[in-house]
Structure 1
Amino acid sequence: MRARAPVVRHRTLRRRALRRRVLWSCGELLVTLGTVLALLVVHQLWWTNRQAEQGAQREVRALEQEWGNPASPGGSPESASTPNSGSDSADSSDSSGSGESSGATGWDGAGGLANSSSATPGWSQAYAILSIPRIGLRVPVAEGVSKPAVLNKGYVGHYPGTQQPGQAGNFALAGHRNTHGEPFRYINRLRRGDAVQVETADAVYSYTVDRTLPQTSARDDGVIRSVPRSIVRPAHGYRAPGYYLTLTTCTPEYTSRYRLVVWGMLTSMRPR
C-alpha cells in the first residue's frame, strides 16, 4: 500500500512566512537598537571627552597668553610667603580615596565671595588654572558649578559662596569624574603631601593635599564650608580656621550617588 504524501495547506504556508517575516523584522530592530546604543555610548564616553578636553586646553592656553608668563605646573614658587594654615587637632582622616559632576550640584558654603584681586569673576568665566602634577592635570577653573555652562565644558567649577584662591577659608571646586573631559577622574589617587597649584592673573598659590574623604552624601555641604568638616562623617574634616582647598567629584565611577572629597592646605603664594 502506498504511503500518502502529506498535504500542506496554503494557510499553513502563509502562517510560516508571516512568522519568518516577524522574526526577521524583530532581529533587524534589535540590531538597529544595539547600533544606536553603541553609538550613544561612544559619543558619551569618547566624543564628549574629546570635545571638552580640547576646549579646556584651548582655554588654558588663552589664559596663559593673557597673563603673559605661564607658571611651571607644580613648580616651587620663588620668594613665596607662607600663610598660617590653621592645622588643628581634629581626628586624623588621611585615608586614601577609593574608586564626575561630577555631576556635582551646587552646595551653599559659608564665607564671603571675594577675589584676592578684588575683582569678582563673571558667571561661568574661566579665571584660574588648576594644576595637579601627580595625575597630569592642568585645567581651567570657572565661576559656578553649572553643568551646561562650566562642568560639561571640561572645566573645574568654583562653588559660589566659597572663598577664592589664597583667601582665608575654603576654596572649593567641583569637576566631572567621567565624561565631558573628566578632569577629576583620578583624584582618588591623590595622597597626603601631593602638590596642587592654582594660578590666577595676579598670583600663583601652592596647596598641599592633606586629607581624603572617600565617600559621603551628595548633600553633605559641610565639606565645602569655610572650615570644612563632613556633617555625615564628622571624623573627617577640620575644626580650626585656615586656608583650605576642597576638590569634589562623584563616586563610584559612572554614578552620581555619592561624593569623593580631597582637602588641601595653602602652603605658599607668590605674585606674578
Structure 2
Amino acid sequence: MVVQGRGRRARRAGVVGVLWATAELTVTVGVVVLLLVVHQVWWTNRQAAAAAQAQVRALERAWGDDPSLPPSPSSDSPSVAPSVSSSVAPSVPPSGGPAVVSSSPPPPPAGPAGAREREGAYAVLRIPRLGLVVPVAQGIDKRAVLDKGYAGQYPGTAGPGERGNFALAGHRNTHGEPFRYVNRLRAGDELIVDMRGRRYTYVVGKVLSETTERDTGVIAPVPRSVVKPEYGYSEPGAYITLTTCTPEYSSKYRLVVWGTLRR
C-alpha cells in the first residue's frame, strides 16, 4: 500500500510538472509573438517613417541649395514633359507586396537626373488631404524601396508630368505605411509631385476599391482595369496611379487611385 501511494503521488507530481512546463512555454511563445507583432506593426513604422521624412528634407535641401535651377512653376499651370517611357511589360508580381505588376526597368536617362534616379529618391509626393509627404524612388523592390517607407515608381511607366501613366506603389500597413489612407481620397483631391525645379499637380478622378494583383491594366499608359473594364480611362493623357494592398493587413487585393495632370 505504501509503495502504491508513493507511485500515485509521483505520477501526480509528474503530470503537474508537465502542465507547468507547458504553461511556461505557452506564455514564453506568446510574449515572443507579441514582441514580433510590436516590432513589425509599430517599430518598423516609426523607423521607416522617420527615415522617409529625413530623405524628404535632404531632397528639399539639395534642391534649395542649387542656385542654377529655375524656380518651381505654379501648381496651377504645370507643363507636360515629353514622354520617354510609357510601355509596361507585365509579369506575375511577388506575393505579399502592394505591387500590381513588375517589369524590366528601362535604362535611366543620361545625365544628372538619371544618376539621381539610380541612387534613390528623386521626387516628393504630397497629398494635402491626407497630410502625406513621402519620397518617390524608382522601382517597386520591397527591401530597396517600399520597406523604406517610400512610394515606388513602377519600372517602365511614365515619369512625373509626362504623357502616359506615372504609376506608384506603396505599403498600406507597416514600414511607414505611406498609402494607408488613400482609400479616403475623393474626386478633386490634389496629388502634388515635386522634382528638382518642377512641380506637377494631378487631380484625383477615379478610385477602384478592389481588384486582383494581376490586373496589369491599372498601370497601363491609358489606365483601365482588365478585371473590371468599367473602371479606368479610354483616352491618352498624363495620368498618375497609386496602388496599395487591400483590405488592411492583407495583400489579397489591390486598391487603385487614378488622377489626371492639371493643365
Measured after TM superposition, the shift of residue 104 of structure 1 is: 2.2
1:9 aligned partner:
5
1:175 aligned partner:
170
Q: Does 1:239 align with 2:246?
A: no
Q: Does 1:107 align with 2:101?
A: yes
Return the TM-score normalized by structure 2: 0.84
2:132 aligned partner:
137
2:113 aligned partner:
119
Task: Confirm or deny: 8 A CA contact 2:75 2:200 kept in the other structure.
Answer: no
Measured after TM superposition, the shift of residue 148 of structure 1 is: 0.3
Could you say what secondary structure the match of 1:67 adopts? helix
Measured after TM superposition, the shift of residue 185 of structure 1 is: 0.1
Task: Confirm or deny: 8 A CA contact 1:113 1:161 kept in the other structure.
Answer: no
Measured after TM superposition, the shift of residue 49 of structure 1 is: 0.1
Which has the bigger relative contact order, CA under 8 A and spacing at least 6? 1
**Residues 1-272 of structure 1 correspond to what in structure 2 (within 5 A)?**
9-68=5-64, 77=74, 80-81=77-78, 103-105=97-99, 107-108=101-102, 119-120=113-114, 121-123=116-118, 125-268=120-263
Q: Which runs of 5+ in 1 are unaligned?
A: 70-74, 84-100
Q: Which runs of 5+ in 2 are unaligned?
A: 66-71, 81-94
Could you say what secondary structure the match of 2:159 adopts? coil
Could you say what secondary structure the match of 1:29 adopts? helix
Measured after TM superposition, the shift of residue 207 of structure 1 is: 0.5
Letter in 1 for 2:218: V
CA RMSD of aligned residues (A): 2.9
Task: Confirm or deny: 8 A CA contact 1:245 1:263 kept in the other structure.
Answer: yes
Measured after TM superposition, the shift of residue 111 of structure 1 is: 11
Q: 1:159-186: per-residue Cα shift (whole Å, max 9, x none)?
A: 0100000000000000000000000000
Q: 1:165 to 1:116 in 2, by over 3 A?
A: farther
Q: 1:27-74: per-residue Cα shift (whole Å, max 9, x none)?
A: 0000000100100110010000000000000000000000008xxxxx
Measured after TM superposition, the shift of residue 82 of structure 1 is: 5.9
Letter in 1 for 2:97: G
Q: 1:68-121: per-residue Cα shift (whole Å, max 9, x none)?
A: 08xxxxx992672466xxxxxxxxxxxxxxxxx982236257997776998335
Q: Aligned equivalents of 1:79 and 1:234: distance in 2?
A: 31
Q: Which of the two has higher C-alpha Rg?
A: 1
Letter in 2 for 1:130: L
Could you say what secondary structure the match of 1:63 adopts? helix
Q: What fraction of aligned residue pairs are identical, expressed as a percent? A: 54
Flag the structure with higher helix content. Answer: 2
Q: Aligned equivalents of 2:210 and 2:107: distance in 1?
A: 27
Q: 1:132 to 1:191 in 2, by over 3 A?
A: same
Q: 1:238-261: per-residue Cα shift (whole Å, max 9, x none)?
A: 111000000000000001011000
Could you say what secondary structure the match of 1:173 adopts? strand
Return the TM-score normalized by structure 1: 0.82
Letter in 1 for 2:22: C
**Which of 60-69 and 117-126 deviates more?**
117-126
Q: Aligned equivalents of 1:159 and 1:169: distance in 2?
A: 12
